[in-house]
Amino acid sequence: DQQVKQNSPSLSVQEGRISILNCDYTNSMFDYFLWYKKYPAEGPTFLISISSIKDKNEDGRFTVFLNKSAKHLSLHIVPSQPGDSAVYFCAASPNFGNEKLTFGTGTRLTIIP
Amino acid sequence: NAGVTQTPKFQVLKTGQSMTLQCAQDMNHEYMSWYRQDPGMGLRLIHYSVGAGITDQGEVPNGYNVSRSTTEDFPLRLLSAAPSQTSVYFCASSSFSGLNNAEAFFGQGTRLTVV
């Protein structure tokens, strides 16, 4: 039972364009959502997060949108850069904490120069 | 600035052997967790701890033990290795943040192969 779903295993985007990565969840108890970026042979690194009391959080080129009624969140990267090529994981937590994260299966983003 | 340090980076075990994966953090974080990542799957929580002396099970705890005697260290023990435990293991630490923009810091991972 996959409680956090990333239905696109891969995505290719032209450099300079917008990258949109999607994530759906089923557990209504989740109230904190995070995006992590992972390069090969490295651990995941934190990108941006959003709590359920917000519908948008922005940090530089990265914006996360949360639609609670649809149980859907998305990560927008604009403009996309070659260094953004990585696997992106969506994660969720039930208690505004970080010790029990449920991860999606990841989306491999490739930025085409 | 070490962050979260995992050792070893690579390990090959024979079925039935036991071993301990080490994890240490130098950020004085209360929370520490162990995840495993398998091909085509996201990271899955094995065990976690909210402070020294306190541990609890995650989604896939069977075959693993943990203890948290200090704030800094959170070792993961494989009692009797099985091929199904072949995976990449990640340790993470974080601090309670409430509604703030918080993150969990991950180690570089331990790639374990059980033959």
pLDDT tens digits, one per residue of A29-81: 998 999 999 999 899 999 999 989 999 999 999 999 999 999 999 999 999 99
Please indicate if any CB of chain A lies within 8 Å of the CB of B27. Answer: no
pLDDT digits (tens, 9 = 90+) for A67-109: 999 999 999 999 999 999 999 999 998 876 677 889 999 999 9
Written as one letter, the residue type at B53 is G
If you search the block for the tokens 């779903």, which residue do you land on?
A5
What is the pLDDT confidence band of residue B91, given thresholds at 50, 70 and 90? very high
Give the model's pLDDT for residue A97: 67
What is the pLDDT confidence band of residue B102, given thresholds at 50, 70 and 90? low
pLDDT at B96 over 80: no
- Read off the pLDDT of each residue in B28-45 and give the average, rounded to a whole number: 92
What is the pLDDT confidence band of residue B40, given thresholds at 50, 70 and 90? confident
**Contact partners, residue B13, CB within 8 Å, separation at least 6:** B19, B78, B81, B112, B113, B114, B115
Contacts of A97 in chain B (CB under 8 A): 31, 94, 96-97, 102
CA contacts within 13 A on the Cβ side of A9: 3
Please indicate if any CB of chain B lies within 8 Å of the CB of A41. Answer: yes
pLDDT at B99 over 90: no
DSSP B42-72: -EEEEEEEEETTEEEE-SS-TTEEE--SSSS
Is there a contact between B101 and A49 if contact means CB atoms under 8 Å apart?
yes
What is the pLDDT confidence band of residue B98, given thresholds at 50, 70 and 90? low
Please indicate if any CB of chain B lies within 8 Å of the CB of A74. Answer: no
Give the model's pLDDT for residue B97: 61
Is there a contact between B106 and A97 if contact means CB atoms under 8 Å apart?
no
Please indicate if any CB of chain B lies within 8 Å of the CB of A103. Answer: yes
Contacts of B41 in chain A (CB under 8 A): 105
**Average pLDDT value over all residues in chain B:** 92
